[in-house]
Amino acid sequence: PGKGGQPPVTPKAATASPTGKGAGAGGHEKAAAKGADPAAAAREQLQTALDALHRAELTGEPEAFDAAERALNAAKAPLKGTAHEGDLSQALARLPVARQAAADRRLNAEAAALLAAAKQHSDRKEPNIARLHCRELLARFPASAVAAEAKAMLQALDAPPSIPKEK
C-alpha cells in the first residue's frame, strides 16, 4: 500500500502503449494490422510450419514430423499464389526425406546398441549372451551399418576354440 493506506500509484509509462492509448489497445492494433495484411499472416503461418519442421528434424520424433506435416498442409491454401508457395513446396518435399533419415538414425542407433551389448558380453566371457545379441541384430537390422561386424563377431564366437599346438 501507498501512503495513508491508499494503493500505490503506478507510473503512467508502465501502462501506456507507445501510441498513448493504454496497454490493451496495442494488442488490438497488431491484430487489426494482421487481419488487414493476409500476406503477413500467410508468411507467419509458413514460418510456424517451417519451425515445426526444423523441430522435427532436430528431435527425430515421429510425433514432431506429424505436427510439421499438419502445419505445412495447413499453410497450403493461404500461400497459394504467393511468393512463398515455392518455400512451402520445398519444405513439403524435404519432409519425407527428413522423416526417413530420422528413422534410419533410430534404427542404426538400436543396431549399434545391440552390437555394443554383444561386445560387452563377449569381453566378460559370456559368449552365449553375445551370440544372442548378434543374432538379434542380424535378424532385426540386416542392412545396418554394423551388421557385417555383428556377423564377423558371431562367426568368431561360433568358431571352435583354437588349441595351442604342443612343441
Longest dimension (CA), the chain: 108
Q: Give the per-residue pLDDT at 39.
A: 81
- With bands split at pLDDT 50, 70 and 90, how would you rate the model's confidence at 122? very high
40 versus 53: which is more confidently predicted? 53
pTM score, whole prediction: 0.62
Is 80 exceeded by the pLDDT of residue 29? no
Residue range 92-118: average pLDDT?
95
Is 90 exceeded by the pLDDT of residue 100? yes
C-alpha cell at 157: 564366437
Q: Indicate the average pLDDT of the chain.
A: 83
Is 80 exceeded by the pLDDT of residue 98? yes
Is 70 exceeded by the pLDDT of residue 63? yes
What proportion of the chain, given as a percentage, has pLDDT over 70?
77
3-state SS track over 1-50: CCHHHCCCCCCHHHHCCCCCCCHHHHHHHHHHHHHHCHHHHHHHHHHHHH
Is 90 exceeded by the pLDDT of residue 42? no
How far, in Å, CA of 112 to CA of 147, rounded?
Answer: 9
Q: How far apart are the first and last CA of the chain?
A: 101
Q: Give the per-residue pLDDT at 5.
A: 54
Q: Decide: 124 and 156 in contact? Cβ < 8 Å.
A: no
